[in-house]
Amino acid sequence: MTSFNGKIVLITGAASGIGFIMSKMALKRGVKHLVMWDINSELLSTSVEELRSKGYSVSMNVVDVRDIEQVTSAAENVINEQGGVDILINNAGVIVGKSFATHSYDEIENTMTVNSLGLMYVARAFLPDMIKREFGRIINIASAAGLSPNPGMTVYVASKWAAVGWSDSLRIELEQDHENIKVLTVMPSYINTGMFDGVKAPLLIPVLDPEKISAKILNAVEKEKIYLREPFMVKLSPFIRGILPARVYDFIAGNLLKVYSSMDTFRGRKGDKN
């Protein structure tokens, strides 16, 4: 079991959405100090002040996870000031919901960099110190989109497939050489934070409540789980895709569950983090 009590925790994309919800929940579980990273300086300041006003020990860094120099510099400062990070929650993320042919090259690069490379940059910045201290927990917020194709979010899907593959490979790598550094890969379906405004919930795959999924993520950290897939149908996705021919899976996902049309009415909300 892993306890949040007395730990140093860092959360990216922490100013809003489930990042901020997890920040509040982690502090209530006894975190010694919370470090909040986000690209939105104004919103981050407001969120930090709200938590500080309740007596919690919280610090912040305005960090663009796409920028290696910003990530490494901020990470070095955190390690020097706090003595290291015990629990890292890689939560920052973006989405562009439209057909691939209409994506700009900048949108493609930005989505891939934030959602996949950004996780790697942040983890790489803190992992050597975790190895030195022989303790660490790395939580990577990926997506159910990393388990199944979905039109209307092709680049987002690609970024999350990359995140899932990297995160699980890192888990195995660390299990082989550093058993006290553990990795949790989180793969939720749509979350009702505003990031996915307008999506149509597929059959049997309801839009997730942000408070409930945030609590489940922290519970999964405490229980040292290696995967968290929500809701229930997402748990079955790897098995179903593994045993069915692609066209049969497409029929079930597209025609029966309506997964492939879930982005048809997507609006989103600019600037949100998942």
Mean pLDDT of 16-43: 98
| pLDDT tens by residue, 39-83 | 999 999 999 999 999 999 999 999 999 999 999 999 999 999 999
Please tell me the distance from the alpha carbon of residue 126 to that of residue 113, in angstroms, as a whole number.
Answer: 18
Please tell me the distance from the alpha carbon of residue 22 to that of residue 274, in angstroms, as a whole number.
Answer: 12
Neighbouring CB atoms inside 10 A of 119's CB total: 27
Q: Is residue 19 part of a domain?
A: yes
Helix (H) or strand (E) holding 29: none
pTM (2 decimals)? 0.95
User: Which residue, 268, 270, 254, 272, is CA-closest to 97?
Assistant: 268
Total number of domains constituting the chain: 1
Cis peptide before 231 (omega within 30 of 0): yes
The boundaries of the domain holding residue 188 are 8-261
What per-residue string of b and e applies to 214-240 under the rule 16 or more CB within 10 Å gives b?
A: bebbbebbeeeeebbbbbebbeebeee
Can you give the CATH number for the domain in which 134 is found? Answer: 3.40.50.720
Please tell me the distance from the alpha carbon of residue 76 to that of residue 174, in angstroms, as a whole number.
Answer: 22
Q: Is residue 128 part of a domain?
A: yes
Residues 6 or more apart whose Cβ sits within 8 Å of residue 255: none
Residue 273 pLDDT more than 80?
A: no
Q: Is residue 3 part of a domain?
A: no
Residue 268 pLDDT more than 60?
A: yes
The verdict on whether 121 is a catalytic residue reads no
Q: What is the pLDDT of residue 270?
A: 58
Please tell me the distance from the alpha carbon of residue 96 to that of residue 156, in angstroms, as a whole number.
Answer: 7
Q: Is residue 63 part of a domain?
A: yes
| pLDDT tens by residue, 90-146 | 999 999 999 999 999 999 999 999 999 999 999 999 999 999 999 999 999 999 999
Q: What is the pLDDT of residue 272?
A: 45
Please tell me the distance from the alpha carbon of residue 185 to that of residue 220, in angstroms, as a whole number.
Answer: 10
Q: Is residue 268 part of a domain?
A: no
Do 256 and 60 contact (CB within 8 A), yes or no? no
Please tell me the distance from the alpha carbon of residue 130 to that of residue 101, in angstroms, as a whole number.
Answer: 42
Please tell me the distance from the alpha carbon of residue 60 to that of residue 113, in angstroms, as a whole number.
Answer: 22
Please tell me the distance from the alpha carbon of residue 109 to that of residue 116, in angstroms, as a whole number.
Answer: 11
In the block, residue with structure tokens 């489940």: 216
Please tell me the distance from the alpha carbon of residue 34 to that of residue 32, in angstroms, as a whole number.
Answer: 7
Q: Is residue 269 part of a domain?
A: no
Q: What is the pLDDT of residue 269?
A: 73
Do 29 and 86 contact (CB within 8 A), yes or no? no
Please tell me the distance from the alpha carbon of residue 98 to that of residue 121, in angstroms, as a whole number.
Answer: 27
Q: Is residue 49 part of a domain?
A: yes
- Confidence category of residue 271, pLDDT binned at 50, 70, 90: very low
The one catalytic residue among 156, 190, 227, 260: 156
| pLDDT tens by residue, 171-203 | 999 999 999 999 999 999 999 999 999 999 999
Q: Is residue 140 part of a domain?
A: yes
